[in-house]
Chains A and B, each alone.
Chain A
């Protein structure tokens, strides 16, 4: 999957290495003893991106950055904040680039719509093609 693009792989790896040696393993996150809170924390951690890594979320990444974000999330949960509040807090702090799921807003409409527009357009063209093909039937 890492394509022929060795250079990109290298760039990625250098970033990983700089961030931390063994990405997934470095930190054992502090855990809540309350299982509901723990699963909330883990779930939230998966929704934010490690900004110094390549494509990892803060749950799987072992970078110091991710450690910080995990700590922030856990502090906020402990302080009784709701999930949307925590998300707003992190977006305010780091920008929407930290969200794994891009926000739905006017400038990302095309991102969300493109696949379905192509599907609709393709479906339309296919409809016309099939119509024409069955009319010319001998």
Chain B
């Protein structure tokens, strides 16, 4: 019975999203208060019914209702509760429902906050309604999560062991919050174009900013979380592989970052109006393309799309309509927007423009690297691999150049800045950069140019951020937020440089009592015990970290077998000092009872994610500042000066 309740809730949600779309779009006209009220209440109704559908599916997973096909194929009675719940989105159908739920949550927030005035809000709700309806139709017609199975099996097929992990349980909701958050910015941009009223177009960037920030925070956290998961779970000691699936999340992040900066200029000084609108459209478009390239399997194999032609076709039509419609609207309206505001070459506006140029080039690089092999294969069957060396040669220099310019931005004034004074004020940061570079050359080996350069740039970024914090005591939250996020970039860079340049690695086959060394550590292998987990059996290795003759720590990497899924998994053990990780992964058992043990020492690895955390916190701080400020404030002081 519960399954049918969920399906019914989905149908109601579809009906309400259609009402929301129609009423919202009608509500963009000047005299349409009634339509706007309908749009708001149907947005909330849509949220309620989507929550209900999602709740029903979650309940089915929690109580292991195997009469629901999706539960039977993705869950198991012995699974810990948290993974029963995360199993809801650990599959295609459930993750699409999660997508719609996040969309509904954003629509609810858009309706409640009502930023940018009644007409703009109404238009944004209308677009959100259209998107919601499209996704709900997709779910109902091709990916129904509530399909029944008769007779119901006694036991489910279980969930991929790799997905049974707290990091990966949280990762998809985070990324979806990012992708779908960009849909809110997209809806605001499209609504502003649709209304076409000058005052509204000038105000949309301010109105949509909290949603851009939410999306950016979620994307940043989601990517960091995913990378952390890959690091501790996959047992290869790396944190980013430039694989297409990762790239699909990096592209929207790069564009969202560009959007945040460009929208700032639009809001504060009226510059780059059309460009910001286009970025909002591009950001969500890349989210759509990225998600569906990944979801359809096109990226891992060109032929996977054909495996379910209905889904593939539906997705293509959906993407084409959303992107094509928005671009057509843009092409129709953009020429009528009045040109940009005036600013001098040395100004904050120019700095933000350069930020956008570099981020766009970085995104183009990831885009080309991800799609080129597909295009080439489709054109003449040539197969190539675009691996990390490509990104080292293209993405890295472009991003490096961007980082060099970052400290100038926040210090240049709007419209007219004093480049010389800014340069002078950055001397201490330059000093810190020099110290970092010299320290690397003097202390650490091997000496590499890349690591030295990275440390110098990190010193430059962190130094400038500290200066920003000191100088602007009593400044607004946004200044602190920018400083924190920019320092986070530097901290992440330190981590990346440290692990890339100075990671040491040792692989050995060891028996009980034998030792091995890795970096500065001596490890003693104390044998393996058989342990029983809730839904797995583990070989748990006991490895002593030796300090002189004493044992300073015990590490217990595991090799797990999940009988329900019939799969093996490694569970790494990591001991961190905060500045250096000792990382162990247990390998196969040999015939003679000895085990393969792989050990890494990764200097500064934790900083990679600390930097990510700082960036997210910067975003949150900025968001907090925003939500406290009144939303209807007319667009900027500069506007008045014109």
Tell me if B149 counts as interface (CB < 8 A to partner A): no
> For chain B residues 122-175, which have a beta carbon within 8 Å of chain A?
160, 162-163, 168, 171-172, 175
Interface string of A78-102 (1 = CB under 8 A from B): 0000000000000000011111111
Given contacts A1-B227, A102-B384, contact A6 B89 (CB under 8 A): yes
Distance in angstroms from A133 CB to nearest chain B CB is: 5
User: B354: which A residues are within 8 A, CB to CB?
Assistant: 126
Interface string of A85-122 (1 = CB under 8 A from B): 00000000001111111110001101110111111001
> For chain A residues 15-34, which have a beta carbon within 8 Å of chain B?
15, 17, 21-29
**Count of inter-chain pairs, beta carbons less than 8 A:** 237
- Whether the Cβ atoms of B95 and A97 lie closer than 8 Å is no
Which of B90, B237, B342 is close to A6, meaning CB atoms less than 8 Å apart?
Answer: B90
User: A4: which B residues are within 8 A, CB to CB?
Assistant: 89, 95, 99, 172, 175-176, 179, 291, 294-295
Given contacts A6-B91, A97-B385, contact A116 B394 (CB under 8 A): yes
Interface string of B299-321 (1 = CB under 8 A from A): 11100100000000000000000
Tell me if B568 counts as interface (CB < 8 A to partner A): yes
Tell me if B470 counts as interface (CB < 8 A to partner A): no
User: B587: which A residues are within 8 A, CB to CB?
Assistant: 22, 24-26, 28, 62
Given contacts A1-B240, A5-B295, contact A115 B364 (CB under 8 A): yes
Of B345-353, B492-500, B529-537, B629-637, the one touching chain A: B345-353
Which of B226, B380, B386 is close to A102, meaning CB atoms less than 8 Å apart?
Answer: B386
- Whether the Cβ atoms of A133 and B342 lie closer than 8 Å is yes
- Whether the Cβ atoms of A137 and B163 lie closer than 8 Å is no
- Whether the Cβ atoms of B395 and A115 lie closer than 8 Å is yes
Interface string of B263-305 (1 = CB under 8 A from A): 0000000011000000000000000001100111101110010
- Whether the Cβ atoms of B365 and A114 lie closer than 8 Å is yes
Given contacts A97-B383, A118-B364, A137-B344, contact A54 B243 (CB under 8 A): yes
Tell me if B235 counts as interface (CB < 8 A to partner A): yes
- Whether the Cβ atoms of A1 and B226 lie closer than 8 Å is yes
Tell me if B12 counts as interface (CB < 8 A to partner A): no
Interface string of B382-408 (1 = CB under 8 A from A): 111111111001110010000000000
Distance in angstroms from B123 CB to nearest chain A CB is: 27
- Whether the Cβ atoms of B383 and A95 lie closer than 8 Å is yes
- Whether the Cβ atoms of A12 and B300 lie closer than 8 Å is yes
- Whether the Cβ atoms of A24 and B350 lie closer than 8 Å is no
Tell me if A57 counts as interface (CB < 8 A to partner B): yes
Of B21-29, B53-61, B245-253, B482-490, the one touching chain A: B245-253
Secondary structure call for the A interface:
helix
User: B294: which A residues are within 8 A, CB to CB?
Assistant: 3-5, 7-8
- Whether the Cβ atoms of B360 and A129 lie closer than 8 Å is no
Cα distance, A78 to B248, chains bound together (Å): 41
> For chain B residues 341-376, which have a beta carbon within 8 Å of chain A?
341-345, 349-350, 353-354, 356-358, 360-362, 364-365, 367-369, 372, 376
> For chain B residues 442-479, which have a beta carbon within 8 Å of chain A?
none
- Whether the Cβ atoms of B596 and A9 lie closer than 8 Å is no
Which of B92, B230, B244, B368 is close to A110, meaning CB atoms less than 8 Å apart?
Answer: B368
- Whether the Cβ atoms of B357 and A115 lie closer than 8 Å is no
Interface string of B566-597 (1 = CB under 8 A from A): 01111000000000000001111000000010
- Whether the Cβ atoms of B242 and A55 lie closer than 8 Å is yes
User: B570: which A residues are within 8 A, CB to CB?
Assistant: 22, 24-25
Cα distance, A100 to B168, chains bound together (Å): 27
> B386: nearest residue on chain A (CB-CB)?
A102
User: B295: which A residues are within 8 A, CB to CB?
Assistant: 4-8
Distance in angstroms from B172 CB to nearest chain A CB is: 4
Interface string of A22-65 (1 = CB under 8 A from B): 11111111000000000000000001010000111100101000
Which of B343, B356, B567 is close to A133, meaning CB atoms less than 8 Å apart?
Answer: B343
User: A110: which B residues are within 8 A, CB to CB?
Assistant: 368, 372
- Whether the Cβ atoms of B361 and A22 lie closer than 8 Å is no
Tell me if B340 counts as interface (CB < 8 A to partner A): yes
- Whether the Cβ atoms of A114 and B364 lie closer than 8 Å is yes
> For chain B residues 86-101, which have a beta carbon within 8 Å of chain A?
89-92, 95, 99
> For chain B residues 316-345, which have a beta carbon within 8 Å of chain A?
339-345
Tell me if B598 counts as interface (CB < 8 A to partner A): yes
> B340: nearest residue on chain A (CB-CB)?
A133
User: B362: which A residues are within 8 A, CB to CB?
Assistant: 115
Distance in angstroms from B65 CB to nearest chain A CB is: 20
User: A95: which B residues are within 8 A, CB to CB?
Assistant: 383
Cα distance, A135 to B26, chains bound together (Å): 41
Distance in angstroms from A68 CB to nearest chain B CB is: 18
Distance in angstroms from A116 CB to nearest chain B CB is: 7
Given contacts A110-B368, A115-B394, A138-B342, contact A60 B236 (CB under 8 A): yes
Given contacts A4-B291, A23-B234, 14 further A-B contacts (CB under 8 A): A3-B245, A22-B587, A24-B234, A24-B236, A25-B570, A56-B241, A60-B236, A98-B385, A101-B389, A102-B385, A115-B364, A117-B364, A122-B356, A133-B342
Name 23 A/B residue pairs within 8 A (Cβ), A-sorted.
Answer: A2-B229, A2-B245, A3-B172, A4-B294, A4-B295, A9-B162, A22-B568, A25-B585, A26-B588, A27-B596, A28-B596, A49-B385, A99-B385, A100-B388, A107-B382, A111-B369, A114-B367, A115-B361, A115-B365, A123-B357, A129-B272, A133-B349, A138-B342
On B, residues with C-beta under 8 Å from A are 89-92, 95, 99, 160, 162-163, 168, 171-172, 175-176, 179, 223, 226-227, 229-230, 234-238, 240-246, 248-249, 271-272, 290-291, 294-297, 299-301, 304, 339-345, 349-350, 353-354, 356-358, 360-362, 364-365, 367-369, 372, 376, 380, 382-390, 393-395, 398, 507-509, 559, 567-570, 585-588, 596, 598
The 3 closest A-B pairs by CB, nearest first: A5-B294, A25-B587, A100-B387
